[in-house]
Amino acid sequence: MIRLTDAAVDEVKRILTDQQADEGTCLRLGVSGGGCSGFSYVMTFDKESQEDDQIADYKGLKVLLGADAAPYLDSMVVDFNDDVNKRGFVFNNPNASDSCGCGSSFSV
């Protein structure tokens, strides 16, 4: 399964509040083909889990990881960087053999 830092969880919760998301809205993490390194990270909101999802709870935030993405993202840590020079989610993926400069795509 993946892990989210407290900073990442707090930022996702802030976004859900700003978007006035329905109670029970979950964060879904996944991958899609594309990006400069082969795969891109995908973060979306979902209201329902699928039968084959891995499900984790972080401080009341339900996080879903589909079976198709699990081999690519297993043991990944998602952090949130809020520095003056760089603001955004950071993906620390031990399965990635290469990643692009911006950190939003990877290869295995």
**pLDDT (tens digit, 9 = 90+) per residue, 63-97?**
999 999 999 899 999 999 998 888 899 999 888 76
The Cα–Cα gap between 7 and 13 comes to 10
At 58, which helix (H) or strand (E)?
strand 54-58
The Cα–Cα gap between 19 and 78 comes to 21
Domain ranges of the chain: 3-107
**pLDDT (tens digit, 9 = 90+) per residue, 28-57?**
999 988 656 578 889 999 999 999 999 999
Report residue 79: phi and psi, to 5°: -120, 170
3-class DSSP state of 104: coil
Q: What is the model's pTM?
A: 0.84
Q: Which residues, in sequence order, are CB contacts of 23 under 8 Å at separation 6+?
A: none
What is the CATH number assigned to the segment(s) 3-107? Answer: 2.60.300.12
